[in-house]
Amino acid sequence: MGVAMVGLRVLGIDPGLTRCGWGVVEGRPGARPTALGVGVVRTSPDLDLELRLLEVHTAVTALLREHRPAAVAIERVFHQNNKGTATGTAQAAGVAALAAAQADVPVAWHTPSEVKAAISGSGRADKEQVTLMVTRVLGLTTPPKPADAADALALAICHVWRAPAQQRLRVAALAGGIGAPVPAARTLPRWTGISR
């Protein structure tokens, strides 16, 4: 009789200052994951920036304590047209990562196109398609709202499905000497070009 494989529990964070989406999923590659919680942390634009960041940090810390994830998956922030929005998003991502580090939980950063490809098969899927696929994949009766919450669940699903393969590739690369640290006393061999 085989041993049942334990699922990976992941807290997904779709960072934002006004709305920071979160979703907790447990599962393993090749199986339907289960949603354990979803929501949005909201902060008021009337508050000073540091207080808004403190609210996000406090909320993520509470989620880490409540759900005890094995990993936190955060959307990698890219430059957007609105620099103010991109800055706030990056700051919210930073305090979420800080909360995870303080709880000794590893953080994985996923690009929006990587998440969209994992959940829908297309890196160009729009928010409606992502929400629809999250609803189907998790077997939910109603779509998670707002879109920030659905995006957070998509991040968590992406990590549940991709993390084991990524970890195996990382271990294999290190075993082969790729990406291994170079001892300080040694230098890299000089490039001599293609042998004649």
The two counts, helices (H) then strands (E), for the chain are: 5, 5
Q: Is 48 annotated as a binding residue?
A: no
> Beta strand 107-110 with 34-42: parallel, antiparallel or unpaired?
unpaired
**Is 46 annotated for ligand binding?**
no
Q: Which two tokens stand for residue 149?
A: 């919450």
Q: Which of 194, 124, 114, 191 is nearest to 154 (CA)?
A: 114
Dihedral pair phi/psi, residue 20, rounded to 5°: -115, 105
For tokens 């047209």, what's the residue? 81
Q: Are 118 and 161 in contact (CB under 8 A)?
A: yes
Does the bond joining 146 to the residue before it have cis omega, within 30 degrees of 0?
yes
Report how far apart, in Å, the C-alpha atoms of 142 and of each of 139, 145, 153, 161 are: 9, 9, 14, 22
What the block records as the tokens of 40 is 């949005």
Whether 148 has a binding-site annotation, put simply, is: yes
Catalytic residues: 14, 75, 148
Residues that constitute the known binding site: 14, 75, 148
List binding-site positions for Mg(2+). 14, 75, 148
